[in-house]
A and B are shown apart, each in its own frame.
Chain A
Amino acid sequence: MTSCHIAEEPIKKVAIFGGTHGNELTGVFLVKHWLENGAEIQRTGLEVKPFITNPRAVKKCTRYIDCDLNRIFDLENLGKKMSEDLPYEVRRAQEIYHLFGPKDGEDSYDIIFDLHNTTSNMGCTLILEDSRNNFLIQMFHYIKTSLAPLPCYVYLIEHPSLKYATTRSIAKYPVGIEVGPQPQGVLRADILDQMRKMIKHALDFIHHFNEGKEFPPCAIEVYKIIEKVDYPRDENGEIAAVIHPNLQDQDWKPLHPGDPMFLTLDGKTMPLGGDCIVYPVFVNEAAYYEKKEAFAKTTKLMLNAKSIRCSVH
């Protein structure tokens, strides 16, 4: 069988974003450290720029000032006329877009890594936005293999209505890096170490790629979002049930119809309905209470990537 390979342009410019949410501290402090001493993130022939995306939120150690920066990189918000009346994050999004975008522009950044933490027990997670992106599937395969036996999961957010307009989406190759569990406003050494390793392997991959290494066809297991599930609420909109102890901390594990899902404040168990096994993620993420998401249901599938090689060699 002939494997056709994709000849890709070499990667020239990479950005590493921290502080998109100001209270997710691992990315904040890795970026701040690399701004002082960037030796660890340098690779020959590659420009790697660490950058704090939401400095006001970082200073206040809060997720955002006016609105969630990681939801507003759509054409409408990016196209609004600049004014002091715009929410802080919308103005900031436009600045970031001019510095790092536009997508496929001449001087634009090829890859953006956006560093996040979650209060959910998701371990090391890579977030993919496009199921047909051979280059990123190959990168994720390389990172997963390099991290093993430490598990690294891939969350695919490609969905007609549930996909959101992320900060990183202005690059040709957007990569979300999410490590948990870590409380907001806390910096854990073990989580820092895991995220640091993920970035190291990602940059090594890019370097090998630029040097002409061919990556043969590969396949990775991914978890694709199906739907978001809100907490049961009372007539005032207040949460009336909490994530069941059997589901708490069980991100990525199969949840069967009939398995406990929520526990009401009166002690009643509410089970998963339907007739499909799902794989919950973002189980009990603090920031998602206001977004009405107790967890997201995903389905497990394999994604394939063709062989890739840098076109310069």
Chain B
Amino acid sequence: MCSLPVPREPLRRVAVTGGTHGNEMSGVYLARHWLQAPAELQRLSFSAVPVLANPAATAACRRYVDHDLNRAFTSSFLNSRPTPDDPYEVTRARELNQLLGPKASGRAFDFVLDLHNTTANMGTCLIAKSSHEVFAMHLCRHLQLQYPELSCQVFLCQRSGEESYNLDSVAKNGLALELGPQPQGVLRADIFSRMRTLVATVLDFIELFNQGTAFPAFEMEAYRPVGVMDFPRTDAGNLAGTVHPQLQDRDFQPLQPGAPIFQMFSGEDLLYDGESTVYPVFINEAAYYEKGIAFVQTEKFTFTVPAMPVLNPAPSPAS
């Protein structure tokens, strides 16, 4: 099992994107603030660029206008010929691909950090593609060590054989911060402040790396998806029940076979009939009702992350 190439040069081109979903307010307000006052995104060896990823959805305070932007970064969407009828977000994804990519090319940004909120009780969740992303894994480890009180959980979202579709996949390295619970359209001070602090620490890590800091090998525990569970539905496709009180808010906690997962409107409990323990995440996320997902089932696993090769220190600060 091999890892993907680690950066061999300092990371110079870094972006922080907010408002990829226009109603996830921490990133929206941070992006807007930094577009006016970018000083806090500057470091000695680089400056991160703030980007408001989905302006139209942000203006309307909706997740998206036509199509989920964070599902629009596949080569099929990015490389097909533009037509006048293209959904807003497909056109926007191509623009962002020009700005921050092109995806999988040598010209792409070195690193993109994408900011999200969830209505699920996921606390501080760090979302990366896979365990092979050595740089991202060291970054996650750094965040976990800096903020032990936050219990940052690492979720590795890419399923094998599947192409990446999310915004931060356009860059050479990427990470998403997923903070919750926060309702759509609501800006909570505590979550906003935590997001801001985490962004600063991500940029500090990149600076440490650029300055030639050594990062030794370590063991990492993470969660990867093994399936999804939809809500119980009527023949017409309407909800017939909702997440059981004993599962609600228990993201990242073990779910055993036989435990209740749904409560029907008529009162009965539906039990989990899988064969092994899973760790549900995105439990009762508002935006996933239409995707047919009541929660995502994950498995917990541990793997070794190799040491990151030390850079020669950056010769001079970026201007």
Contact = CB atoms under 8 A, between A and B. Distances in A.
B275 interface: no
In the complex, which of the residues A119, A183, A192, A265 has the most CB atoms of chain B within 10 Å of its own CB atom?
A183
Contacts of A239: 29, 187
A184 interface: yes
B229 interface: no
A153 to B, nearest CB: 20
A291 to B, nearest CB: 12
B183 A119 contact: yes
A19 B289 CA distance: 17
A184 B183 contact: yes
A188 B245 CA distance: 8
B156 interface: no
A243 B189 CA distance: 7
B181 interface: yes
A289 B25 CA distance: 12
Interface string A207-245: 000000000000000000000000000000011001111
Nearest to A187: B242
Contacts of B182: 183
B187 A119 contact: no
Interface residues of B, number: 33
Nearest to B63: A185
Interface in A235-259: 238-239, 242-245, 248
A286 interface: yes
A289 B185 contact: yes
A119 B187 CA distance: 11
Given A30-B265, A188-B242, A188-B243, 15 more contacts: A33-B266, A119-B183, A119-B185, A119-B186, A181-B183, A186-B183, A189-B245, A190-B248, A192-B242, A239-B29, A239-B187, A242-B188, A245-B193, A286-B184, A287-B185
Interface of A: 29-30, 32-33, 37, 61, 119, 181-190, 192-193, 238-239, 242-245, 248, 263, 265, 284, 286-287, 289-290
11 contacts: A29-B239, A119-B185, A185-B286, A186-B284, A187-B239, A187-B284, A189-B263, A193-B245, A242-B189, A286-B185, A289-B61
